[in-house]
Structure 1
Amino acid sequence: MSVEIALRAARVRYGPLEALHGLDLPVPAGTVTVLLGRNGAGRTTALRALAGTVRLSAGRVLWQGVDVTRLSAHERARRGLCLVPDLRAVYEGLTVADNLALTAPGRSGSPGPAPYPELLPLLSRTAGTLSGGERRMLALSRALLAPARVVLVDEPSLGLARPIAARTYRLLAARAVRDGAAVVLAEQRVPDGLPPGTVVHELRRGSLVWSGEPAESA
């Protein structure tokens, strides 16, 4: 498997607190990678470091072998990186339709809420009036519809009903297996239904403590 993007000896500090302690994290193309750990383990910080929304205090970010550590988050997004954070992941003042239109800039016509038909009756609503689960579906539509090479999602199933969560994991797996994207999911436990070849990395207090396959993590 070729490595699409990677952290190399990455350190991130929030004031006096070091959240990542020299983390090495390779993310293969065409594969789902799961970052496993409890709150405070460093999962979210690792995603943000890859996306460029937090700065490294030491180490590098390599994208297809090229050092992109100094590239801003919006420059990485232009190159094909999509981050779906766990909170504040939609434009609350825009309608659902407008949020969806931003998922694939330059595409003719509206991309439509294909992954989530539940959003169809809500197209004219502003995102700030949606329920938590509806906002999550809208945010996830960006990862599922945008032509991204790297897809980073923090807790995909947050606020979703079980059947919709299961559908979400199938769709995210298809982004990796069918489309060749490097998909990284930050999770507190390994979800069901991940494709063969999924790689799990367990983080604890900002360090990598274990790597393996989903069946080995139980």
Structure 2
Amino acid sequence: MSVEIALRATRVRYGPLEALHGLDLPVPAGTVTVLLGRNGAGRTTALRALAGTVGLSAGRVEWRGTDVTRLSAHARARRGLCFVPDLRAVYAGLTVAENLALAAPGADATEATAPYPELVPLLPRTAGTLSGGERRMLAVSRALLAPRARVVLVDEPSLGMAPPVAARTYRMLAALAVERGAAVVLAEQRVPDGLPPGTLVHELRRGSRASSGEPAEYR
């Protein structure tokens, strides 16, 4: 199981508060990795550190063994990293169609809405007028439509979604790992159903890794 991307002895500070305390987090390719923990455990900060949207106070980020700590978020995105944050994950002033066009340039509406047909009647609406679940579908579409995604980071994928839509979302995210070989990292407060065999779970507490195991151990 090869490591695609990793945090090595990573520390992140927000002013006087340290959010990650020397976190080591290897993320294998072709696998779903779940970062489990309560609010404030460091899950979101770990995703941001991998994505390059927050600076490190110590440690490094490695991508296939190469130190990319100083590589900008935009440069990481061009290399195949897709980050779907929990907030502000869509462009509220653009229509649904325009948001999808940014995620999948050149795709027609049928192709772009394939992950979530529920978005078809919403194409002309601005994203800022959507419900929370509809915005989440639009945001996750970015990861599902990215043609060459090697690393996919999603903060609470099913936030605001109805249970059947959430179940479908996890199946599609699992397919990114199993069928496309992407390294998929999900930040969750509990272990979701529908994850593929080989899924890894790391429980974070106060910015450190408290334990690691299989999904069944945390249900």
TM bracket (short chain): over 0.9
In structure 2, what is the equivalent of residue 133 of structure 1? 133
Identical pairs, percent: 85
Q: Is the 8 A contact 2:203 2:211 kept in 1?
A: yes
> Post-superposition shift, 1:108?
5.4
**Structure 2 regions of 5+ residues with no counterpart?**
none
Hey, what's the Cα distance between the residues in 2 that align with 1:129 and 1:104?
Answer: 22
1:213 aligns with 2:183: no
1:73 aligns with 2:73: yes
In structure 1, what is the equivalent of residue 176 of structure 2? 175
> Post-superposition shift, 1:104?
2.6
In structure 1, what is the equivalent of residue 23 of structure 2? 23
SS at 2:112's partner residue? Answer: coil
**Structure 1 regions of 5+ residues with no counterpart?**
none
Q: Is the 8 A contact 2:6 2:61 kept in 1?
A: yes
1:89 aligns with 2:89: yes
SS at 2:203's partner residue? Answer: strand
In structure 2, what is the equivalent of residue 11 of structure 1? 11
Q: Which amino acid aligns with 1:17?
A: L
In structure 2, what is the equivalent of residue 199 of structure 1? 200
In structure 1, what is the equivalent of residue 191 of structure 2? 190
Tell me the TM-score normalized by structure 1: 0.98
Runs of 4+ displaced beyond 4 Å: 107-111
1:104 aligns with 2:104: yes
Tell me the TM-score normalized by structure 2: 0.97
Q: Which amino acid aligns with 1:180?
A: G
Q: Which amino acid aligns with 1:175?
A: L
Hey, what's the Cα distance between the residues in 1 that align with 2:197 and 2:42?
Answer: 25
In structure 2, what is the equivalent of residue 162 of structure 1? 163
**Which sits farther off after the overlay, 142-151 or 200-209?**
142-151
Q: How big is each residue's C-alpha offset from its partner over 1:87-122, in whole Å with a ceiling of 9 and x where there is no partner?
A: 1100011110110011134x4545421110000001
Q: Is the 8 A contact 2:104 2:112 kept in 1?
A: no
Count of equivalent residues: 217
Hey, what's the Cα distance between the residues in 2 that align with 1:58 and 1:159?
Answer: 35
Q: Which amino acid aligns with 1:122?
A: L
RMSD: 0.9
Q: Which amino acid aligns with 1:100?
A: L
Hey, what's the Cα distance between the residues in 1 that align with 2:55 and 2:169?
Answer: 30
Q: How big is each residue's C-alpha offset from its partner over 1:140-168, in whole Å with a ceiling of 9 and x where there is no partner?
A: 10011112110000000100000000000
